[in-house]
Amino acid sequence: MASDPPSLRFTPLQSFVESSFFTQLAHLKLEKYKLDDSTREICGFQSPPSKLNKFDDKPILRLDDRSFATGTKTEAETETETDSNAGAWSLVGSLTNVNTIEEFKAINKQDLLNQWGRSMAESMQNTTKFDYDTFNRFSMISFSDLKKYKFYYWVAFPTLQSSWEITRKSSVDEDLLKLIISEASGEAEAKGQFYQLSDNKLLDSFSQDKDLSCFVFFDSCLSSDRRPSAQLKNYLYFLAYKGIKNIRLVVYRNNYSSFSLDLQLMDLPQDLKIVGWERTSQGKLGPKLADLSQLSNPRQLASQAVDLNLRLMRWRIAPELELDVIKNQKVLLLGAGTLGSYVARALLGWGVRDISIVDSGRVSYSNPVRQSLFNFEDCFSEHGRGGVKATTAADNLKRIFPGVDAKGFELEVPMIGHPITDEETQAAQYQNLNRLFDESDVVFLLMDSRESRWLPTVMGAAKGKTVINAALGFDSYLVMRHGSVQQDQGSRLGCYFCNDIVAPEDSLSDRTLDQMCTVTRPGGALVASSLAVELLVSLLQHPDKQNAKHDGSSKFGATPHQIRGFLHSFTQSKFHAPNYAHCAACSTKVIAEYKQRGWQFVKQCLNEAGYLEDLSGLKQVQEEAELAARQLLSELELDEGDGDDEDENKGEDEDEEWIS
């Protein structure tokens, strides 16, 4: 009994998605696509038969970072031979990247495949040319989990079904093979994959002149089982749709294993039958997972993850947010205590990568519970002593995020009211501080004494730096930005010392334990630190930056001068105060003298009591105030003629006692 003729079988097309594809997809998702999950055109690359070898013997579609550039076919063909896509066929496709894994799971895969197949069938039925782009398309659905850097995807090659059986197998006639080779060495292969043979020529369009037609398929598969690539299916469907029932097909391969098949049409379904979802390596229908977290550098992944929250802000909430201007700031923190620790952490969250920390203290056992950059182990790192606060804080910042350029500097800021005791050492510390100011864009004043903030305030004003000040009381806090000399004199905002009528002085000597430690409600530092960083961010989003008006508004909110909060009543208010002409820190005379004399000016301020008040004009203000007070008291004295002498003398004695 004769066996039934064998049906024609195929080798499925497979996808190979390089990691660069997903890296580019992640970038586009964050920066461009955001919540837009509309379908987008992409392209893939396939090696033509002449490029195949024994290591590349299956039909493979490659996707990489260039897949997102439309119109890349010409570019791919003109790249150098060292490029993996050089000379490759470009395959047009589409990508639908959804926003949640639930959406990815809920997609009706067969309905979607039918939609793609019907669109392809319509294009094929309305053409007579064997155009490669028309007969070969692919589609891809995906979900990008950018927190874990995992990508779920499924590729489909929509294929229209028609049943053909093999009536005869044979080798290719030698003369015909020479003709095909001759054509293939010319421009035929560059035009497409399927041709009709007529009058010893390969035609790239269809003709129904002959009952028995001969066609040539440039196979992208070199497998030994002689199953042609599944890309042949769509060409066969086209012939069946055009009414061709018998054909001779030459399957050309460049490894001398070409063969000829006589095929007979068995069935063309009235309703389109469409297949094409790619199977997994286990042969099952299902999506694939690309886990790039296992392949990428952990530091690179950390950097991408740190920026993730910031980029997500621009999807819905703040599309105009300028992240680079924040990221590029060079920030100097003066103080590595409670405020310094929380400010540093908040800056990391905003993407700041360059942070310098100054402090002269060491980590003590009381620090770790209140200061988030220190651990218990930091309290006894050197010969039983705690580690240097500044360098320990910088090191721990790097442990939190290795991509930060954090540096710690152990130095003591020269303080007004504290005379020079070791000029060589203190002058060197001043020079280091001066260098750090020059190298920074933003300075945070986060120290625990008033006088330690004086010199940084002077330097910040003189050098035109953005200065943010945060100070704590027991259940209150102050966050403010210092005014800039670049502001108009009439609208220039004040600094931390502009409300003082005396110069800052020594407040640290002869202090009890509760006065030496910053005794404050723990939550106040978190609130103040957060507000200080958020104030900076708001300023950086304003076109005038630090020169923004106190009642102005940036792309990211208000730009106040001062924020004062009270935890006991849970209230918060915004204030502003103008620059004081006789301020001991930012007045014109003080800044001019500092610019001219530098360290010599600082030394004189520290060593000579009263010099700074004299220079700024505060001394004259005090004298005028005392004179006005005496005049007021004089006007309030009783006239001598009122009452008897004894009562008058008694009243005078009481007045003298009250005045003294």
- 120 lies in the same domain as 210: yes
The DSSP H or E segment spanning 24 is helix 19-28
CA nearest neighbour of 407 among 420, 424, 395: 395
- 389 lies in the same domain as 276: no
Q: Residue 38 in contact with residue 255, Cβ under 8 Å?
A: no
Which of these ranges, 303-307, 331-335, 567-571, 591-595, has the smallest mean pLDDT?
303-307
- 45 lies in the same domain as 97: yes
Give the count of beta carbons closer than 10 Å to the beta carbon of residue 255.
12
Question: What pLDDT digit, counting tens, does each position of 135-144 carry?
Answer: 999 999 999 9
- 268 lies in the same domain as 388: no
Question: What pLDDT digit, counting tens, does each position of 261-272 carry?
Answer: 999 999 898 888
Q: Which of 560, 575, 603 is the endpoint of a domain?
A: 603
Specify if 301 maps to a domain: no
Place of tokens 């490659």: 62
pTM: 0.68
**3-class DSSP state for residue 372?**
coil
Give the C-alpha separation, 559 to 546, whole Å. 9
- 369 lies in the same domain as 500: yes
Q: Residue 427 in contact with residue 619, Cβ under 8 Å?
A: no
CA nearest neighbour of 137 among 153, 152, 124: 124
Highest mean pLDDT among 47-51, 217-221, 310-314, 633-637: 217-221
Number of Cα atoms under 13 Å in the Cβ half of residue 248: 15
Give the count of beta carbons closer than 10 Å to the beta carbon of residue 5.
15
- 129 lies in the same domain as 262: yes
pLDDT number for residue 76: 40
The DSSP H or E segment spanning 405 is strand 405-410
- 162 lies in the same domain as 246: yes
Give the C-alpha separation, 374 to 395, whole Å. 10
Q: Which of 279, 294, 309 is the endpoint of a domain?
A: 294
Specify if 270 maps to a domain: yes
Q: Residue 91 in contact with residue 61, Cβ under 8 Å?
A: yes
> Token pair of 208, please?
């129904």
Number of Cα atoms under 13 Å in the Cβ half of residue 295: 11
Q: Residue 468 in contact with residue 445, Cβ under 8 Å?
A: yes
- 41 lies in the same domain as 125: yes
Specify if 120 maps to a domain: yes
- If you write DSSP's letter for every residue of 324-356 in order, what string do you get? HHHHT-EEEEE--SHHHHHHHHHHHHTT--EEE
pLDDT at residue 658 tops 50: no
Q: At what angle do helices 423-439 and 599-607 cross, to 10 degrees?
A: 130
Domain count of the fold of the chain: 3
Which one has a higher pLDDT value, 646 or 127? Answer: 127
> Token pair of 71, please?
């119109």
Q: Which amino acid is at 543?
A: P
Mean pLDDT of the chain: 85
Question: What pLDDT digit, counting tens, does each position of 503-556 carry?
Answer: 676 665 555 544 445 678 999 999 999 999 999 999 999 999 999 999 989 888
Q: Could you tell me the CATH number of the domain that includes residue 234?
A: 3.40.140.70
Q: Which of 278, 294, 310 is the endpoint of a domain?
A: 294
Q: Could you tell me the CATH number of the domain that includes residue 531?
A: 3.40.50.720
Q: Which amino acid is at 217?
A: F
Which one has a higher pLDDT value, 436 or 499? Answer: 436
Give the C-alpha separation, 588 to 592, whole Å. 6
Beta strands in 67-149, from DSSP E residues, in sequence order: 89-98, 137-145
pLDDT band at 51 (very low <50, low <70, confident <90, very high): low
- Active-site residue, from 214, 495, 498, 517: 517
pLDDT at residue 172 tops 80: yes
pLDDT number for residue 491: 85
- Bridge-based pairing of strands 150-160 and 274-277 is antiparallel
Q: Residue 95 in contact with residue 78, Cβ under 8 Å?
A: no
Q: Residue 173 in contact with residue 200, Cβ under 8 Å?
A: no
Runs of H (alpha helix) within 508-644 = 513-516, 522-540, 588-597, 599-607, 611-616, 618-636
Specify if 132 maps to a domain: yes
379 in active site: no
- 283 lies in the same domain as 332: no
> Token pair of 478, please?
């102050």
- 409 lies in the same domain as 536: yes
Q: Residue 450 in contact with residue 500, Cβ under 8 Å?
A: no
% pLDDT > 70, the chain: 85
Q: Residue 450 in contact with residue 478, Cβ under 8 Å?
A: no
Give the C-alpha separation, 576 to 482, whole Å. 11
**3-class DSSP state for residue 20?**
helix
- 483 lies in the same domain as 580: yes
pLDDT at residue 660 tops 50: no
Question: What pLDDT digit, counting tens, does each position of 14-42 carry?
Answer: 999 998 899 899 889 988 898 899 999 99
Q: What are phi and psi of 411, to 5 degrees?
A: -155, 155
Number of Cα atoms under 13 Å in the Cβ half of residue 53: 2
Question: What pLDDT digit, counting tens, does each position of 448-504 carry?
Answer: 888 999 999 999 999 999 999 999 999 999 999 999 988 877 789 999 999 887 767
What sign for the dihedral angle of Cα 572, 576, 582, 584?
A: positive
pLDDT at residue 184 tops 80: no
Specify if 387 maps to a domain: yes
> Token pair of 231, please?
């890309």
**3-class DSSP state for residue 198?**
strand
Work out the average pLDDT over 50-69: 78
- 185 lies in the same domain as 223: yes
Specify if 500 maps to a domain: yes
> Token pair of 262, please?
């006589």
Give the count of beta carbons closer than 10 Å to the beta carbon of residue 641.
6
CA nearest neighbour of 219 among 76, 50, 77: 50
pLDDT number for residue 382: 62
pLDDT number for residue 6: 83
The range of the structural domain enclosing residue 246 comes to 14-294
